[in-house]
């Protein structure tokens, strides 16, 4: 195990040392605009068409990728296993998720979509952005607000037997 760790360390150190010799990294790109935001001299399509350079590991080092609104949101009942589901999904390399619950659609909606998008992790093309806030399950306004953000957003709903859920909630 020690040899594997040393190999990984020296492999990364060797590739990272070469980054400084190549010169300064390119300046980070601005995230794509939300509908209705003014552009800076170019159309929205031109700005979105510009490709992100680099492999997944290089994007980790140079901060490339874009912050996107989530394509999937996990909602569910209290003590239903929503955190466990999110952590299992995060193991996949094509899934990126917010660490903490943003509570955008129930508590922070007045801050706007730009604020919400800024909370999201940077993702590369082909990766899925997710977030988890179980309380959207019991918030009246959340479904309409999520739908107005994006009709294509998938909701992953976690439910549990109500009796065992109540016992679990009571004991904790």
Give per-residue burial for 21-41: e unless 16+ CB within 10 Å, then b: eeeeeeeeeebeeeeeeeeee
18: in domain = no
Supply the mean pLDDT for the chain.
Answer: 77
- Residues forming the annotated binding site? 79-83, 160, 168
118: in domain = yes
Domain of residue 148 covers 55-172
Residue 164 sits in a domain whose CATH number is: 3.40.50.300
Global pTM reads 0.63
pLDDT digits (tens, 9 = 90+) for 116-152: 999 999 999 999 999 999 999 999 999 999 999 999 9
Identify the CA nearest to 120 among candidates 102, 137, 106: 102
101: in domain = yes
Say what the pLDDT of residue 57 is: 57
Say what the pLDDT of residue 27 is: 53
Query: Which residues, at least 6 apart from 145, have a Cβ–Cβ distance to it below 8 Å?
Result: 105, 109
Express as a percent the part of the chain with pLDDT over 90: 52
- Residues forming the annotated binding site for 3'-phosphoadenylyl sulfate? 79-83, 160, 168
- The catalytic residue among 79, 132, 151, 154 is 79
Domain count, the chain: 1
Q: Is 79 an annotated catalytic residue?
A: yes
41: in domain = no
The pLDDT confidence band at residue 98, using thresholds 50, 70 and 90, is very high
38: in domain = no
């Amino acid at each position: 195990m020690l040899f594997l760790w040393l190999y990984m360390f020296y492999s990364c150190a060797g590739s990272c040392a070469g980054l400084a010799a190549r010169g300064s990294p390119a300046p980070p790109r601005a995230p794509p605009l939300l509908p209705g935001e003014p552009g800076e001299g170019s159309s929205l399509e031109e700005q979105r068409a510009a490709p992100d350079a680099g492999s997944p590991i290089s994007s980790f080092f140079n901060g490339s990728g874009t912050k996107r609104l989530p394509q999937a949101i996990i909602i569910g009942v209290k003590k239903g296993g929503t955190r466990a589901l999110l952590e299992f999904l995060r193991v996949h390399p094509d899934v990126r998720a917010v660490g903490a619950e943003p509570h955008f659609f129930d508590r922070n909606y007045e801050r706007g979509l730009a604020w919400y998008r800024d909370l999201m992790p940077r993702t590369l093309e082909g990766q899925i952005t997710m977030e988890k806030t179980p309380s959207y399950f019991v918030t009246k306004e959340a479904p309409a607000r999520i739908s107005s953000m994006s009709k294509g957003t998938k909701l992953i709903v976690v439910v549990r037997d109500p009796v065992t859920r109540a016992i679990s909630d009571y004991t904790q």
